[in-house]
Chain A
Amino acid sequence: MPSLKDIRNRIASVKSTQKITSALKLVAASKLRRAQEQVEAGRPYAERMGRMLGSLAANVAAGAGGPRLMAGTGSDKVHLLVVMTADRGLAGGFNSSIVRATKRSIVQLQGEGKTVKLLTVGRKGRDVLRREFPTLIVASFEEVGKRRLSFADADRVATKILEMFEAGEFDVATMIFNKFKSAITQVVTHQQIVPFAAPEAQAAASTEAKPVYEFEPSEESILADLLPRNLAVQIYSALLDSAASFFGAQMTAMDNATRNAGDMIKKLTLVYNRTRQASITKELIEIISGAEAV
Protein backbone atom coordinates (compact mmCIF):
# COMPACT_ATOMS: atom_id res chain seq x y z
CA MET A 1 0.00 0.00 0.00
CA PRO A 2 1.62 3.27 -1.11
CA SER A 3 1.69 5.99 1.49
CA LEU A 4 -0.37 9.16 1.23
CA LYS A 5 2.68 11.16 0.29
CA ASP A 6 3.53 8.80 -2.59
CA ILE A 7 0.06 9.14 -4.02
CA ARG A 8 0.16 12.90 -3.68
CA ASN A 9 3.42 13.00 -5.59
CA ARG A 10 2.07 10.83 -8.35
CA ILE A 11 -1.00 13.00 -8.77
CA ALA A 12 1.22 16.06 -9.03
CA SER A 13 3.43 14.44 -11.64
CA VAL A 14 0.52 13.24 -13.78
CA LYS A 15 -0.97 16.72 -13.55
CA SER A 16 2.18 18.33 -14.91
CA THR A 17 2.34 15.75 -17.69
CA GLN A 18 -1.23 16.62 -18.57
CA LYS A 19 -0.33 20.29 -18.75
CA ILE A 20 2.46 19.54 -21.19
CA THR A 21 0.37 17.31 -23.43
CA SER A 22 -2.51 19.75 -23.57
CA ALA A 23 -0.14 22.60 -24.42
CA LEU A 24 1.45 20.49 -27.16
CA LYS A 25 -1.97 19.72 -28.49
CA LEU A 26 -2.79 23.40 -28.84
CA VAL A 27 0.55 24.08 -30.50
CA ALA A 28 0.01 21.23 -32.95
CA ALA A 29 -3.48 22.49 -33.74
CA SER A 30 -2.26 25.94 -34.67
CA LYS A 31 0.65 24.57 -36.66
CA LEU A 32 -1.74 22.23 -38.44
CA ARG A 33 -3.81 25.20 -39.51
CA ARG A 34 -0.76 26.92 -40.92
CA ALA A 35 0.42 23.77 -42.68
CA GLN A 36 -2.98 23.33 -44.27
CA GLU A 37 -2.89 26.89 -45.53
CA GLN A 38 0.47 26.18 -47.10
CA VAL A 39 -0.89 23.09 -48.79
CA GLU A 40 -3.71 25.20 -50.21
CA ALA A 41 -1.35 27.94 -51.34
CA GLY A 42 0.91 25.48 -53.12
CA ARG A 43 -1.88 23.94 -55.11
CA PRO A 44 -2.19 26.47 -57.99
CA TYR A 45 1.45 26.04 -59.01
CA ALA A 46 1.29 22.26 -58.96
CA GLU A 47 -1.95 22.31 -60.90
CA ARG A 48 -0.62 24.54 -63.66
CA MET A 49 2.63 22.64 -63.77
CA GLY A 50 0.63 19.44 -64.29
CA ARG A 51 -1.38 21.06 -67.06
CA MET A 52 1.73 22.25 -68.86
CA LEU A 53 3.41 18.88 -68.51
CA GLY A 54 0.31 17.18 -69.84
CA SER A 55 0.28 19.18 -73.04
CA LEU A 56 4.04 18.91 -73.42
CA ALA A 57 4.08 15.18 -72.85
CA ALA A 58 1.33 14.72 -75.40
CA ASN A 59 3.57 16.36 -77.97
CA VAL A 60 6.86 14.74 -77.05
CA ALA A 61 5.81 11.27 -76.00
CA ALA A 62 4.87 10.48 -79.59
CA GLY A 63 8.54 10.31 -80.48
CA ALA A 64 10.19 7.68 -78.29
CA GLY A 65 13.46 8.33 -76.54
CA GLY A 66 12.29 11.37 -74.59
CA PRO A 67 14.22 12.71 -71.64
CA ARG A 68 15.50 10.06 -69.28
CA LEU A 69 13.56 11.48 -66.35
CA MET A 70 10.41 10.45 -68.16
CA ALA A 71 11.47 7.46 -70.21
CA GLY A 72 13.55 5.88 -67.46
CA THR A 73 16.94 4.27 -67.76
CA GLY A 74 15.59 1.17 -69.40
CA SER A 75 16.07 -1.06 -66.39
CA ASP A 76 14.67 -1.30 -62.90
CA LYS A 77 17.49 -2.93 -61.02
CA VAL A 78 18.19 -0.25 -58.45
CA HIS A 79 15.39 1.30 -56.46
CA LEU A 80 15.68 4.48 -54.44
CA LEU A 81 13.16 4.91 -51.65
CA VAL A 82 12.66 8.47 -50.48
CA VAL A 83 11.34 8.09 -46.94
CA MET A 84 9.68 11.11 -45.36
CA THR A 85 9.28 11.15 -41.60
CA ALA A 86 9.39 13.89 -39.01
CA ASP A 87 12.24 15.11 -36.86
CA ARG A 88 10.22 14.69 -33.72
CA GLY A 89 8.07 12.07 -32.14
CA LEU A 90 5.04 12.36 -29.85
CA ALA A 91 2.79 11.91 -32.83
CA GLY A 92 1.27 8.48 -32.35
CA GLY A 93 1.92 6.11 -35.21
CA PHE A 94 3.06 8.79 -37.62
CA ASN A 95 6.71 7.81 -37.91
CA SER A 96 6.36 4.13 -37.16
CA SER A 97 3.78 3.52 -39.87
CA ILE A 98 6.11 5.04 -42.46
CA VAL A 99 9.01 2.98 -41.19
CA ARG A 100 6.89 -0.17 -41.26
CA ALA A 101 5.79 0.49 -44.85
CA THR A 102 9.40 1.14 -45.83
CA LYS A 103 10.59 -2.11 -44.29
CA ARG A 104 7.91 -4.01 -46.12
CA SER A 105 8.96 -2.40 -49.42
CA ILE A 106 12.62 -3.15 -48.79
CA VAL A 107 11.95 -6.79 -48.05
CA GLN A 108 9.69 -7.12 -51.08
CA LEU A 109 12.13 -5.43 -53.48
CA GLN A 110 15.08 -7.38 -52.16
CA GLY A 111 13.02 -10.55 -52.51
CA GLU A 112 12.67 -9.72 -56.19
CA GLY A 113 16.44 -9.52 -56.44
CA LYS A 114 16.63 -5.75 -56.68
CA THR A 115 19.02 -3.37 -55.04
CA VAL A 116 17.48 -0.91 -52.63
CA LYS A 117 18.87 2.46 -51.60
CA LEU A 118 17.35 4.77 -49.05
CA LEU A 119 17.17 8.53 -48.86
CA THR A 120 15.63 9.69 -45.62
CA VAL A 121 14.04 13.02 -44.82
CA GLY A 122 13.55 13.57 -41.11
CA ARG A 123 15.49 12.30 -38.15
CA LYS A 124 13.06 9.72 -36.78
CA GLY A 125 13.00 7.60 -39.91
CA ARG A 126 16.74 7.77 -40.33
CA ASP A 127 17.43 6.68 -36.76
CA VAL A 128 15.26 3.59 -36.93
CA LEU A 129 16.22 2.55 -40.46
CA ARG A 130 19.89 3.05 -39.78
CA ARG A 131 19.71 0.51 -37.01
CA GLU A 132 18.23 -2.15 -39.26
CA PHE A 133 19.66 -1.34 -42.68
CA PRO A 134 22.89 0.49 -41.94
CA THR A 135 24.31 0.04 -45.43
CA LEU A 136 21.28 1.07 -47.46
CA ILE A 137 21.02 4.73 -46.51
CA VAL A 138 22.81 6.80 -49.13
CA ALA A 139 21.71 10.26 -48.03
CA SER A 140 19.61 11.86 -45.35
CA PHE A 141 18.16 15.26 -44.65
CA GLU A 142 17.28 16.61 -41.25
CA GLU A 143 15.43 19.59 -39.91
CA VAL A 144 13.73 20.12 -43.23
CA GLY A 145 11.38 23.03 -42.78
CA LYS A 146 12.01 23.33 -39.08
CA ARG A 147 10.61 26.83 -38.85
CA ARG A 148 8.55 26.95 -41.99
CA LEU A 149 8.75 24.62 -44.93
CA SER A 150 9.92 26.50 -48.00
CA PHE A 151 10.31 25.50 -51.59
CA ALA A 152 14.06 25.80 -51.21
CA ASP A 153 13.98 22.85 -48.79
CA ALA A 154 12.25 20.69 -51.38
CA ASP A 155 14.65 21.93 -54.02
CA ARG A 156 17.61 20.73 -51.96
CA VAL A 157 16.18 17.23 -51.77
CA ALA A 158 15.30 17.28 -55.47
CA THR A 159 18.80 18.42 -56.46
CA LYS A 160 20.32 15.56 -54.51
CA ILE A 161 18.01 13.05 -56.18
CA LEU A 162 18.75 14.48 -59.63
CA GLU A 163 22.47 14.34 -59.02
CA MET A 164 22.21 10.70 -58.08
CA PHE A 165 20.08 10.01 -61.12
CA GLU A 166 22.56 11.72 -63.45
CA ALA A 167 25.32 9.65 -61.92
CA GLY A 168 23.31 6.52 -62.65
CA GLU A 169 23.01 5.53 -59.02
CA PHE A 170 19.42 4.36 -59.32
CA ASP A 171 16.78 3.52 -61.92
CA VAL A 172 13.50 4.02 -60.12
CA ALA A 173 12.68 6.39 -57.28
CA THR A 174 9.63 6.16 -55.06
CA MET A 175 8.53 8.45 -52.27
CA ILE A 176 6.98 7.04 -49.14
CA PHE A 177 5.14 9.65 -47.14
CA ASN A 178 2.00 10.33 -45.15
CA LYS A 179 -0.69 11.86 -47.29
CA PHE A 180 -2.94 14.23 -45.41
CA LYS A 181 -6.52 13.10 -45.50
CA SER A 182 -7.97 14.79 -42.46
CA ALA A 183 -6.71 15.92 -39.08
CA ILE A 184 -7.16 12.42 -37.71
CA THR A 185 -6.33 10.21 -40.69
CA GLN A 186 -3.12 9.97 -42.65
CA VAL A 187 -2.61 7.57 -45.50
CA VAL A 188 0.80 6.07 -46.11
CA THR A 189 1.38 6.67 -49.80
CA HIS A 190 3.90 5.31 -52.28
CA GLN A 191 4.45 7.63 -55.20
CA GLN A 192 6.84 6.99 -58.03
CA ILE A 193 8.75 10.12 -59.00
CA VAL A 194 11.45 8.80 -61.34
CA PRO A 195 10.76 7.95 -64.12
CA PHE A 196 7.92 10.39 -64.07
CA ALA A 197 4.59 9.09 -65.32
CA ALA A 198 3.06 11.75 -67.53
CA PRO A 199 -0.39 12.85 -66.36
CA GLU A 200 -2.04 11.35 -69.40
CA ALA A 201 -5.45 10.92 -67.88
CA GLN A 202 -5.43 14.60 -67.07
CA ALA A 203 -4.37 15.52 -70.57
CA ALA A 204 -7.08 13.37 -72.05
CA ALA A 205 -9.71 14.83 -69.74
CA SER A 206 -9.01 18.38 -70.80
CA THR A 207 -9.47 17.86 -74.50
CA GLU A 208 -12.53 20.11 -74.73
CA ALA A 209 -10.67 23.04 -76.19
CA LYS A 210 -7.13 21.87 -76.25
CA PRO A 211 -5.06 24.62 -77.78
CA VAL A 212 -2.24 23.78 -80.11
CA TYR A 213 0.78 25.25 -78.44
CA GLU A 214 3.84 26.73 -79.96
CA PHE A 215 6.98 26.03 -78.04
CA GLU A 216 9.93 28.24 -77.51
CA PRO A 217 12.78 27.24 -77.67
CA SER A 218 11.54 23.64 -78.37
CA GLU A 219 9.40 20.95 -76.77
CA GLU A 220 12.41 18.90 -75.82
CA SER A 221 14.33 21.66 -74.18
CA ILE A 222 11.34 22.97 -72.28
CA LEU A 223 10.56 19.47 -71.12
CA ALA A 224 14.16 18.99 -70.10
CA ASP A 225 13.84 22.11 -67.92
CA LEU A 226 10.38 21.36 -66.70
CA LEU A 227 10.92 17.79 -65.53
CA PRO A 228 13.52 18.52 -62.83
CA ARG A 229 11.36 21.41 -61.66
CA ASN A 230 8.38 19.13 -61.53
CA LEU A 231 10.32 16.70 -59.39
CA ALA A 232 10.96 19.49 -56.91
CA VAL A 233 7.30 20.46 -56.98
CA GLN A 234 6.21 16.91 -56.27
CA ILE A 235 8.63 16.63 -53.41
CA TYR A 236 7.48 19.98 -52.10
CA SER A 237 3.85 18.95 -52.09
CA ALA A 238 4.72 15.62 -50.47
CA LEU A 239 6.68 17.42 -47.76
CA LEU A 240 3.76 19.77 -47.17
CA ASP A 241 1.39 16.83 -46.92
CA SER A 242 3.74 15.10 -44.56
CA ALA A 243 4.04 18.19 -42.38
CA ALA A 244 0.28 18.65 -42.21
CA SER A 245 -0.15 14.95 -41.43
CA PHE A 246 2.45 15.18 -38.70
CA PHE A 247 0.67 17.98 -36.89
CA GLY A 248 -2.64 16.21 -37.35
CA ALA A 249 -1.22 13.02 -35.87
CA GLN A 250 0.43 14.93 -33.06
CA MET A 251 -2.77 16.73 -32.23
CA THR A 252 -4.70 13.46 -32.02
CA ALA A 253 -1.99 11.75 -30.00
CA MET A 254 -1.77 14.63 -27.54
CA ASP A 255 -5.53 14.79 -27.22
CA ASN A 256 -5.57 11.12 -26.24
CA ALA A 257 -2.70 11.60 -23.85
CA THR A 258 -4.45 14.50 -22.16
CA ARG A 259 -7.59 12.45 -21.74
CA ASN A 260 -5.68 9.48 -20.36
CA ALA A 261 -3.93 11.74 -17.89
CA GLY A 262 -7.34 13.02 -16.78
CA ASP A 263 -8.57 9.46 -16.15
CA MET A 264 -5.41 8.65 -14.27
CA ILE A 265 -5.80 11.70 -12.02
CA LYS A 266 -9.38 10.74 -11.23
CA LYS A 267 -8.39 7.20 -10.24
CA LEU A 268 -5.45 8.34 -8.15
CA THR A 269 -7.56 10.94 -6.37
CA LEU A 270 -10.07 8.23 -5.45
CA VAL A 271 -7.34 6.01 -4.02
CA TYR A 272 -5.85 9.01 -2.23
CA ASN A 273 -9.15 9.88 -0.52
CA ARG A 274 -9.82 6.27 0.48
CA THR A 275 -6.39 5.94 1.98
CA ARG A 276 -6.79 9.21 3.82
CA GLN A 277 -10.14 8.14 5.28
CA ALA A 278 -8.74 4.76 6.26
CA SER A 279 -5.88 6.35 8.15
CA ILE A 280 -8.22 8.78 9.94
CA THR A 281 -10.50 5.91 10.96
CA LYS A 282 -7.51 3.97 12.21
CA GLU A 283 -6.33 6.89 14.31
CA LEU A 284 -9.81 7.38 15.80
CA ILE A 285 -10.04 3.70 16.73
CA GLU A 286 -6.68 3.93 18.40
CA ILE A 287 -7.67 6.99 20.41
CA ILE A 288 -11.03 5.53 21.45
CA SER A 289 -9.66 2.17 22.44
CA GLY A 290 -6.88 3.96 24.33
CA ALA A 291 -9.49 6.02 26.23
CA GLU A 292 -11.58 2.92 27.04
CA ALA A 293 -8.59 1.12 28.42
CA VAL A 294 -8.02 3.82 31.04
Chain B
Amino acid sequence: MVDKVEFELVSPEKLLVSQPVFMVVVPSADGMLGVLPDHAPMIVTIKPGVIDVYDNDMTTISRRIFVAGGFCEVTGRRVTVLAEEAGDVDTLRGLDRAALESALQAARAEADAAQSETERKAAEQKAAVAQAKLDLQGTVLH
Protein backbone atom coordinates (compact mmCIF):
# COMPACT_ATOMS: atom_id res chain seq x y z
CA MET B 1 0.00 0.00 0.00
CA VAL B 2 1.34 3.36 -0.99
CA ASP B 3 1.39 6.14 1.58
CA LYS B 4 -1.38 8.64 1.51
CA VAL B 5 -1.82 12.05 3.01
CA GLU B 6 -4.97 13.25 4.75
CA PHE B 7 -6.48 16.15 2.83
CA GLU B 8 -8.91 18.50 4.54
CA LEU B 9 -10.70 21.42 2.99
CA VAL B 10 -12.50 23.64 5.48
CA SER B 11 -14.59 26.73 4.90
CA PRO B 12 -15.76 28.93 7.77
CA GLU B 13 -19.21 27.43 7.41
CA LYS B 14 -18.32 23.75 7.25
CA LEU B 15 -15.86 20.95 6.65
CA LEU B 16 -16.03 20.39 2.90
CA VAL B 17 -13.60 17.57 2.19
CA SER B 18 -11.78 15.15 4.41
CA GLN B 19 -10.20 12.17 2.68
CA PRO B 20 -6.86 10.44 2.21
CA VAL B 21 -5.21 11.28 -1.11
CA PHE B 22 -1.99 10.55 -2.94
CA MET B 23 -1.16 14.13 -3.72
CA VAL B 24 -2.69 17.58 -3.70
CA VAL B 25 -1.50 20.60 -5.61
CA VAL B 26 -2.45 23.90 -3.99
CA PRO B 27 -2.05 27.34 -5.54
CA SER B 28 0.20 28.99 -2.97
CA ALA B 29 1.05 32.67 -3.10
CA ASP B 30 4.51 31.85 -4.49
CA GLY B 31 3.42 29.26 -7.05
CA MET B 32 1.87 25.84 -7.24
CA LEU B 33 2.75 23.62 -4.33
CA GLY B 34 2.47 19.86 -4.64
CA VAL B 35 2.14 17.99 -1.37
CA LEU B 36 3.00 14.32 -0.97
CA PRO B 37 3.04 12.29 2.24
CA ASP B 38 5.83 13.24 4.66
CA HIS B 39 6.12 16.72 3.26
CA ALA B 40 8.04 19.13 5.46
CA PRO B 41 5.68 21.12 7.75
CA MET B 42 4.68 24.41 6.16
CA ILE B 43 2.19 27.19 6.47
CA VAL B 44 1.46 29.04 3.26
CA THR B 45 -1.03 31.56 2.01
CA ILE B 46 -3.18 30.59 -0.94
CA LYS B 47 -4.13 32.78 -3.83
CA PRO B 48 -7.33 32.36 -5.85
CA GLY B 49 -6.90 29.29 -7.99
CA VAL B 50 -7.53 25.58 -8.30
CA ILE B 51 -6.62 22.75 -5.97
CA ASP B 52 -5.91 19.51 -7.81
CA VAL B 53 -6.65 16.35 -5.88
CA TYR B 54 -5.05 13.05 -6.87
CA ASP B 55 -6.79 10.36 -4.89
CA ASN B 56 -6.63 7.32 -7.19
CA ASP B 57 -3.07 7.38 -8.41
CA MET B 58 -0.28 9.82 -9.06
CA THR B 59 -1.15 10.65 -12.62
CA THR B 60 -4.84 11.45 -12.84
CA ILE B 61 -6.54 14.39 -11.27
CA SER B 62 -9.70 13.08 -9.66
CA ARG B 63 -11.10 16.38 -8.49
CA ARG B 64 -10.47 20.02 -9.16
CA ILE B 65 -11.67 22.49 -6.57
CA PHE B 66 -11.66 26.23 -6.97
CA VAL B 67 -10.68 28.27 -3.91
CA ALA B 68 -10.85 32.03 -3.54
CA GLY B 69 -7.80 32.30 -1.36
CA GLY B 70 -7.02 31.22 2.17
CA PHE B 71 -4.34 29.41 4.09
CA CYS B 72 -2.80 26.00 3.97
CA GLU B 73 -1.13 24.07 6.74
CA VAL B 74 1.00 21.09 5.82
CA THR B 75 2.25 18.53 8.28
CA GLY B 76 3.74 15.18 7.40
CA ARG B 77 0.40 13.45 7.61
CA ARG B 78 -2.08 16.12 6.80
CA VAL B 79 -2.85 18.97 4.45
CA THR B 80 -5.38 21.41 5.82
CA VAL B 81 -6.72 24.12 3.56
CA LEU B 82 -8.68 26.94 5.17
CA ALA B 83 -10.56 28.39 2.24
CA GLU B 84 -12.72 31.46 2.10
CA GLU B 85 -14.86 30.24 -0.74
CA ALA B 86 -14.64 26.90 -2.46
CA GLY B 87 -16.46 24.98 -5.15
CA ASP B 88 -15.92 22.32 -7.77
CA VAL B 89 -14.43 23.65 -10.97
CA ASP B 90 -17.21 22.13 -13.07
CA THR B 91 -19.87 24.21 -11.37
CA LEU B 92 -17.81 27.32 -12.02
CA ARG B 93 -17.53 26.70 -15.69
CA GLY B 94 -21.27 26.99 -15.97
CA LEU B 95 -21.03 30.62 -14.88
CA ASP B 96 -21.73 33.40 -17.27
CA ARG B 97 -18.60 34.84 -18.83
CA ALA B 98 -20.05 38.30 -19.30
CA ALA B 99 -21.20 38.44 -15.68
CA LEU B 100 -17.72 37.51 -14.49
CA GLU B 101 -16.14 40.12 -16.71
CA SER B 102 -18.40 42.84 -15.41
CA ALA B 103 -17.70 41.68 -11.83
CA LEU B 104 -14.00 42.03 -12.57
CA GLN B 105 -14.46 45.51 -13.98
CA ALA B 106 -16.57 46.53 -11.02
CA ALA B 107 -14.02 45.20 -8.55
CA ARG B 108 -11.19 47.05 -10.31
CA ALA B 109 -13.15 50.28 -10.34
CA GLU B 110 -13.90 49.75 -6.66
CA ALA B 111 -10.20 49.29 -5.94
CA ASP B 112 -9.39 52.54 -7.72
CA ALA B 113 -12.08 54.45 -5.89
CA ALA B 114 -11.33 52.92 -2.48
CA GLN B 115 -11.01 55.37 0.37
CA SER B 116 -9.07 53.32 2.86
CA GLU B 117 -6.36 50.70 2.75
CA THR B 118 -8.71 47.97 3.97
CA GLU B 119 -11.27 48.82 1.33
CA ARG B 120 -8.70 48.77 -1.42
CA LYS B 121 -7.34 45.43 -0.30
CA ALA B 122 -10.82 43.91 -0.18
CA ALA B 123 -11.58 45.17 -3.68
CA GLU B 124 -8.29 43.90 -5.04
CA GLN B 125 -9.01 40.52 -3.52
CA LYS B 126 -12.40 40.53 -5.25
CA ALA B 127 -10.74 41.40 -8.54
CA ALA B 128 -8.22 38.60 -8.16
CA VAL B 129 -11.00 36.09 -7.49
CA ALA B 130 -12.95 37.23 -10.53
CA GLN B 131 -9.79 37.07 -12.64
CA ALA B 132 -9.05 33.54 -11.49
CA LYS B 133 -12.59 32.46 -12.28
CA LEU B 134 -12.30 34.02 -15.73
CA ASP B 135 -9.01 32.26 -16.38
CA LEU B 136 -10.71 28.99 -15.61
CA GLN B 137 -13.35 29.62 -18.23
CA GLY B 138 -10.77 29.79 -20.96
CA THR B 139 -8.98 26.60 -20.09
CA VAL B 140 -9.99 23.18 -21.32
CA LEU B 141 -9.62 20.63 -18.59
CA HIS B 142 -8.97 16.89 -18.63
Contacts and interface: CB of A to CB of B under 8 A. Distances in A.
B133 to A, nearest CB: 17
A211 B10 contact: no
Contacts, number: 88
Interface string A231-243: 0110010000000
B45 A151 contact: no
A45 B82 contact: yes
Interface string B75-108: 1100010101000000000000000000000000
B117 A226 contact: no
B13 A150 contact: yes
Which applies to chain B's interface (DSSP): helix, strand, loop or mixed?
mixed
B45 A221 contact: yes
Contacts of B41: 211-214
A42 B44 contact: no
A163 B118 contact: yes
Contact of B117 (A49, A166, A217): A166
Given A45-B82, A52-B73, A216-B28, A233 B12 contact: yes
A167 interface: yes
Interface string A116-156: 00000000000000000000000000000000001100100
A38 B40 contact: no
A51 B122 CA distance: 25
Interface size class of A (residues with CB under 8 A): 35 or more
B12 A236 contact: yes
Interface in A63-95: none
Contacts of A205: none
Interface residues of B, number: 29
B86 to A, nearest CB: 11
A214 B42 contact: yes
B44 A166 contact: no
Contact of B43 (A55, A151, A232, A236): A55
Given A166-B116, A225-B71, A214 B15 contact: no
B71 A213 contact: no
Contact of B44 (A151, A216, A229, A232): A216
A163 B42 contact: no
B142 interface: no
A184 B40 CA distance: 47
B135 interface: no
Residue with the highest number of chain B CB atoms closer than 10 Å, among A166, A211, A221: A211
Nearest to A41: B14
Contact of A45 (B10, B76, B119): B10
Interface in A204-226: 211-217, 221-222, 225-226
Residue with the highest number of chain A CB atoms closer than 10 Å, among B40, B43, B44, B119: B43
Given A41-B14, A42-B14, A226-B71, A49 B82 contact: yes
23 contacts: A44-B15, A45-B11, A45-B13, A48-B8, A48-B10, A51-B73, A52-B43, A166-B116, A166-B117, A166-B118, A212-B41, A213-B41, A213-B42, A216-B28, A216-B29, A216-B30, A216-B42, A216-B44, A217-B30, A221-B45, A222-B43, A222-B44, A236-B12
Interface of A: 38, 41-42, 44-46, 48-49, 51-52, 55-56, 150-151, 154, 159, 162-163, 166-167, 211-217, 221-222, 225-226, 229, 232-233, 236
Given A45-B13, A216-B45, A217-B30, 9 more contacts: A45-B12, A48-B80, A52-B82, A55-B43, A166-B116, A166-B117, A216-B43, A217-B29, A229-B84
User: Lowest 6 A-B CB distances belong to which pairs?
Assistant: A211-B41, A41-B14, A151-B12, A216-B44, A214-B42, A44-B15
